Amino acid sequence: MNKPLIHRSPMPGLGLSMGITITMLSLVVLLPISALLLKGATFGLDNIWETVNRERVWAALYLSFRLSLFAALFNLVFGVILAWVLVRYRFPGRRILDAAVDLPFALPTAVAGIALTALYAPNGVFGSIAKELGFKIAYTQWGIFIALIFVGLPFVTRTVQPVVQEIEHEVEEASATLGASRAHTIRRVIIPMLMPAALTGFALALARAVGEYGSVIFIAGNIPLKTEIAPLLIVIQLEEFNYDAASAIGIAMLLISFAMLLVINLIQVWSRRRIGYV
């Protein structure tokens, strides 16, 4: 009697794979978060609330999360468009543009901040044009917004690109032969297929923007109650050796970020279920 063939996976077994995964997850994610929560527990809930419930802290949190959300929404729209253009069209300089998308990944954030400040300062190339038009970019919330767009755009584009490559032209042609207009095809066929990947890129861009520090502090101006971001407040507290206050602000950012990402994940689940019904 012939023995059944055993198909061995090139990957390690479940026990080894799970052990490696949990170990790396613990070292990179769980231990730092646990240390932050433990520090907050020793500080006390009342002291955490007293630290966070200040006008300067609320202003910094509101500024960081508001501009991060707006920048992520901007990147969601234009990142998807950029991914579509890079995959579907051939034009001179396409490869250069495709390589430039990864520039925020390779460029140190401090260098990016200095470069953006040089461009958008009142004496910079774009800043001087804005000055002639009567408004200012650098050292305002507009400068922070531009910096957050710069660091977050690649997350959406690189996440959506593989999905665009998998969409066959026949799908659009079939929709057209059934009498659908281009707008209807985009709304009912293309967007539902891109939505899960686009929301993943949106979540990544939002998470990167919320915690961004290096590229923002040079162009922000760092004026309390106006252009001061929450990560800068944490750094200020650390420089003053006030670790309890730093952990309190960090816990506040963690809870707000978790709530926003939870909502995004719920939208992703809904979009995947909707694709099944479309």
Q: Would you give the DSSP letter of residue 208?
A: H
Is 148 or 221 the better-scoring residue by pLDDT? 148
CB atoms within 10 A of CB 14: 9
Look up tokens 């297929």; give the residue.
193
Q: Helix, strand or coil for residue 44?
A: coil
Query: What pLDDT, in 10s, does the model give residues 35-84?
Result: 888 988 888 889 999 999 999 999 999 999 999 999 999 999 999 999 99
Rounded Cα distance between 111 and 34, Å, is 32
What are the residue ranges spanned by the domains of the chain?
35-277
Q: Would you give the DSSP letter of residue 225?
A: T
Q: How confident is the model at residue 275 (pLDDT cuts 50, 70, 90)?
A: low
Which amino acid is present at 239?
E
Q: Say yes or no to pLDDT of 13 above 60.
A: yes
Distances (CA, A) of 20 to 15, 208, 242: 9, 26, 36
**pLDDT at position 273, please?**
72
Rounded Cα distance between 233 and 63, Å, is 12
For domain 35-277, the CATH architecture is Orthogonal Bundle (1.10)
For residue 191, how far is the Cα from the chain centroid?
Answer: 20
- The dihedral sign for the CA sequence 249, 152, 186, 269: negative
Mean pLDDT, range 102-128, rounded to an integer: 90
**Cα first-last separation, the chain:** 49
Look up tokens 């949106």; give the residue.
202
**pLDDT at position 230, please?**
94
Q: Say yes or no to pLDDT of 274 above 70.
A: no
Rounded Cα distance between 246 and 39, Å, is 10
Share of residues in the chain with pLDDT > 90 (%): 51
- Find all residues with CB under 8 Å of 208, minimum gap 6, and list them: 151, 152, 155
Q: At what angle do helices 55-88 and 243-277 cross, to 10 degrees?
A: 40
Q: Say yes or no to pLDDT of 4 above 60.
A: no
**pLDDT at position 8, please?**
61
Torsion of CA 101, 104, 106, 107, to 10 degrees: 130
